[in-house]
Structure formats: structure tokens, C-alpha cells
């Protein structure tokens, strides 16, 4: 069960071009079918590259529109924009990320105390739940670093409602293994299934649906799955936290000695004006291990390392390799270059942002500021990400016109 994921922009662009003919009505009619490992032909499987912006959302949307037009490409475009929507939503409600991290710590502590819970979680992750579909999806996730989106929804629903396991432990399992895992899409996807994102509307995995959209690969009985009549909204009686404005950030200043920081939050460094900076040093920062207190998949860390190496090579940069361990390491490196400013593409809410926040006082002590570039794509879409996706979906034509995506 092997699937090849080469972490370079060249590979991502080649895969995008190969999928362009299927971005229209073929995608709309086939996207919900999970054919199994190595058979995901109706979906692009571009998400590991898009998540790191080795290939950008704008590029794939432009390719779809150019080949198929707005009507036929509508569903593909919407699904690409979902990822941006989730990122914007979490930027507007960062309290949800903090709550997830705190809740995960509590759930992991419960595992140490409760042997039965530990046994049940281990069985689910090891592909020994006793449900053929769950066991196959767990195996595919661990071995390939990928799951079809429909399978992710089924898996999360069965984990939460049929197996009765803590949702954050399932989200953590995904985050440790998914090559395309990011804090927003993963956390909010699990919350959506649980009925916490769209309050009171949990996702119900049904036997007929699984059988139909796996092409009868799996045929669970209705009695195998719990009927979901209520989500987990009672666990958050105060509801969603209030919206916050998008956080302010400092743009890189020309003329200042600048240390360029490359992370896998955005590997599209060519999109930014490096020529206007006085670059005195560059570094790649590996940070995938921050995803979880538990061990993160070797496949995830290897993809990150390859993506960062490709990014530095494309930019013609000689860089040092840093690891996000003690946050003081960032300040020491930047100070050694003589920089008074670190420039990096915008880092969205998640473990790397938490780490950079911890590094802030160490940077300040050495007179170094952190500056970021934020893409127009994000700045245009995120203000609409205040409620459900419908609000963003309604605005897609206007958004794309504003971004001049043809």
C-alpha cells in the first residue's frame, strides 16, 4: 500500500497539470467516491502541496477556470477555497485552537489513567477496531499519509459516535499522520463532524453511504454504526467564542539587515519581493514535530524536510537548518547573522505560531523584530470567514474577480 509523494514544487505542478482535464464536471460527479489506496483518480490529491503552498490555491483555481469555465469548475473551486476558509475562520477565533490544545493535554492525561480507554484508542489507531472500513482507513492513513476526504468524515464520525472515543485524540491521530494536515482544516474538520463547528449539526456516517461511495468495498450493517441524533455541543455550553479581528502583523522593511526564515507554512517564497531586502542570512525551520506531544509520522517530517530543501534551492539560497526546539534558538541564529529583522511568510494559527509567540521575548531581547508577508488571497477571503462556509461560497465570484483569477 504505497503512494509516492515527492515534496517539490515541480512535482506539484506536474500533478496539477495532469489533473486539469478532470477539474470540471468529472470532479463534481466523482469526488465523493473513495476507491482506496492508489485509486484516488477522481480527486486531485494535491493537498500535501497546496497545504505548503508549493502549489498555491490561486494556481489550481486559475487552471480549473481556464480549462472548464466557472460553471463546470464550480465544485472544484469551492473545495479548494474550503481550506482557505478554515484557516480564516481559525484566525478569527484563535480561542478554538487554544481550547483544542488544552483539551488534548487533558485527553492524553486521561489515557494514562484509564487502561480501557487506552486499549480502545490503540485498537482504533492500529486498525483493530473490528470494523473493516475503519481498520482499512487507519492502515491507509498510517502507511500513505493520505485519506480521501469522504473517508476522513466517515472515520471521524465512527470514532466519535460509534466507538465513543474523545474527538481530540482522533484529530491528533490524523494530524500526526496526514501529509496535508494543518491546524485549521484538521481541527475544524473534526469539530464539524462532532457538531461543534456548525452547532448542532453533527455528521452521521451511514452504512448505505459508505457502501455506495466506496463502490461496495465496504458494506457495514446499519446496526454496526450508532445512529447520530445529537452532536457534542453540550460539551461547549457557552457556544462559539466571539469573533476577533484578523491579527495585525509587521511587514518586512527594506534597508534593514534581514534574516529570511523558511517554514513549511508557505513554501512559495518566489511570490515575495526578496530583491527589496538586505538578506544577511537564511534558514529552514523544521517544525512538524510541534503538531503533537506524541510522535509525528516519519512521512510527515520527511515531506517537510524535502519541501524546505526544494524551497531554498529554488530561491538560490544558502541556508542553515534549524529545528523548532527551544525558541531561543531562533534569536541566537538571527543575532549571529547581524539581522535586526526576520522575514517570513505569514504563519497562521497553529503550533508554529504558538512557538513563534514563545520566541518573541528572546527576539526582543536581541533587538530583532519578526516581519511577515500575507498573501492577497488570504487577505481577500479571510474577512468573509466569520460563520459557515455558505457566506464565503456566496462571495466566490466577487472574490475571484477582485483577485483577478481568470
Instruction: Please answer whether residues 219 and 152 qualify as being in contact, where contact means their C-beta atoms are separated by less than 8 angstroms.
Output: no
% of the chain beyond a pLDDT of 70: 99
Amino acid 141: pLDDT: 98
8 Å CB contact between 3 and 178: no
Task: Identify how many contiguous H helices and E strands the chain contains and give both numbers.
Answer: 17, 5
109-140 as b/e: b if 16+ CB within 10 A: eebeeeeebeebbebbbebebebebbbbbbeb
Of 382, 296, 361, 286, nearest to 94 by C-alpha is 382
- Cα dist from 195 to 149, 232, 301, whole Å: 17, 6, 31
> Are 184 and 199 contacting, i.e. CB atoms less than 8 angstroms apart?
no
Mean pLDDT value across residues 316-342: 96
Span 239-250, average pLDDT: 96
CA 167 from centroid of its chain's CA atoms: 17
Provide the angle, in degrees to the nearest 10, between the axes of the packed helices 167-177 and 132-144: 40
Please tell me the distance from the alpha carbon of residue 85 to that of residue 77, in angstroms, as a whole number: 12
Mean per-residue pLDDT over the chain, rounded: 96
CA atoms of 306 and 287, how far apart (whole Å)? 13
Query: Mind listing the pLDDT tens digit for each residue in 52-107?
Result: 999 999 999 999 999 999 999 999 999 999 999 999 999 999 999 999 999 999 99
What does the DSSP assignment read for 340-374?
A: SEEEEE---TTHHHHHHHHHHHHHHHTT-EEEEE-
Structure confidence at residue 3 (pLDDT): 64
pLDDT tens profile 355-390: 999 999 999 999 999 999 999 999 999 999 999 999
Q: Is the pLDDT of residue 306 over 50?
A: yes
Q: Is the pLDDT of residue 238 over 50?
A: yes
Per-residue pLDDT at 1 exceeds 70 = no
Instruction: Locate 111 and state its grid cell.
Output: 489515557
Q: Is the pLDDT of residue 406 over 50?
A: no
Residue whose C-alpha is closest to residue 170's, from 156, 180, 184, 149: 156
Query: What's the pLDDT at 4?
Result: 82
Residue 404 pLDDT exceeds 80: no
18 phi-psi bin (left φ>0, alpha ψ -120 to 50, beta other) = alpha
pLDDT value of position 405: 63
Stretch (H or E) spanning 323: strand 320-323
3-state DSSP assignment of residue 377? helix
Helix (H, G, I), strand (E, B) or coil at 29: helix
Residue 204, pLDDT > 70, answer yes
Q: How does pLDDT run across 169-198, given as a tens digit for each residue?
A: 999 999 999 999 999 999 999 999 999 999
Query: How big is the chain by its Cα radius of gyration, in Å?
Result: 21
- Arithmetic mean of pLDDT, 229-243: 93
For 20-41, the pLDDT digits (tens) are 999 999 999 999 999 999 999 9
All structural domains of the chain, each given as residue ranges with its CATH number in brackets, are 9-91+380-403 (1.25.40), 101-235 (1.10.579.10), 257-374 (3.40.50.620)
Task: Give me the pLDDT at residue 160, please.
Answer: 98
Q: pLDDT, tens digit, for every residue of 142-179?
A: 999 999 999 999 999 999 999 999 999 999 999 999 99
pLDDT at 2 over 90: no
Do 306 and 264 form a contact (C-beta atoms < 8 A)? Answer: no
* Cell triple for 293: 506531544
Amino acid at each position: 500500500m504505497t503512494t509516492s509523494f515527492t515534496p517539490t514544487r515541480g512535482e506539484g505542478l506536474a500533478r496539477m497539470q495532469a489533473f486539469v482535464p478532470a477539474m470540471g464536471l468529472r470532479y463534481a460527479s466523482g469526488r465523493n467516491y473513495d476507491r482506496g489506496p492508489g485509486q484516488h483518480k477522481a480527486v486531485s490529491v494535491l493537498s500535501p502541496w497546496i497545504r505548503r503552498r508549493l502549489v498555491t490555491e490561486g494556481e489550481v483555481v486559475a487552471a480549473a477556470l481556464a480549462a472548464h469555465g466557472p460553471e463546470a469548475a464550480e465544485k472544484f473551486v469551492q473545495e479548494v477555497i474550503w481550506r482557505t476558509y478554515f484557516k480564516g475562520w481559525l484566525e478569527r477565533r484563535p480561542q478554538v485552537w487554544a481550547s483544542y490544545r488544552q483539551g488534548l493535554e487533558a485527553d492524553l492525561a486521561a489515557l494514562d489513567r484509564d487502561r480501557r480507554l487506552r486499549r480502545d484508542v490503540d485498537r482504533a489507531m492500529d486498525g483493530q477496531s473490528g470494523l473493516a472500513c475503519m481498520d482499512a482507513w487507519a492502515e491507509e492513513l498510517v502507511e500513505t499519509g493520505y485519506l480521501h476526504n469522504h473517508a476522513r468524515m466517515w472515520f471521524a464520525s465512527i470514532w466519535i459516535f460509534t466507538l465513543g472515543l474523545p474527538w481530540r485524540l482522533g484529530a491528533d491521530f490524523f494530524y500526526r499522520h496526514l501529509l496535508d494536515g494543518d491546524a485549521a482544516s484538521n481541527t475544524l474538520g473534526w469539530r464539524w463532524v462532532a457538531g461543534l463547528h456548525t452547532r448542532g449539526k453533527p455528521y452521521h456516517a451511514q452504512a448505505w453511504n459508505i457502501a455506495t461511495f466506496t463502490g461496495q468495498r465496504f458494506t457495514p450493517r446499519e446496526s454496526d454504526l450508532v445512529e447520530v441524533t445529537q452532536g457534542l455541543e453540550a460539551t461547549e455550553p457557552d457556544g462559539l467564542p466571539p469573533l476577533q479581528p484578523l491579527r495585525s502583523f509587521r511587514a518586512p522593511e527594506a534597508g534593514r539587515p534581514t534574516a529570511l526564515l523558511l517554514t513549511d507554512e508557505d513554501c512559495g517564497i518566489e511570490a515575495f519581493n526578496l530583491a527589496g531586502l538586505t538578506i544577511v542570512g537564511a534558514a529552514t525551520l523544521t517544525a512538524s514535530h510541534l503538531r503533537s506531544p506524541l510522535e509525528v509520522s516519519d512521512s510527515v517530517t520527511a515531506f517537510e524536510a524535502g519541501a524546505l530543501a526544494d524551497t531554498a534551492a529554488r530561491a538560490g539560497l544558502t541556508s542553515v537548518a534549524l529545528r523548532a526546539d527551544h525558541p531561543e534558538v531562533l534569536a541566537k541564529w538571527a543575532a549571529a547573522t547581524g539581522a535586526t529583522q526576520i522575514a517570513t511568510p505569514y504563519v497562521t494559527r497553529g503550533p508554529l505560531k504558538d512557538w513563534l509567540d514563545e520566541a518573541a521575548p528572546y527576539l526582543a531581547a536581541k533587538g530583532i523584530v519578526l516581519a511577515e508577508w500575507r498573501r492577497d488571497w488570504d487577505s481577500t477571503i479571510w474577512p468573509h470567514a466569520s460563520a459557515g462556509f455558505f457566506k464565503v461560497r456566496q462571495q466566490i465570484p466577487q472574490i475571484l474577480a477582485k483577485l483577478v483569477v481568470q
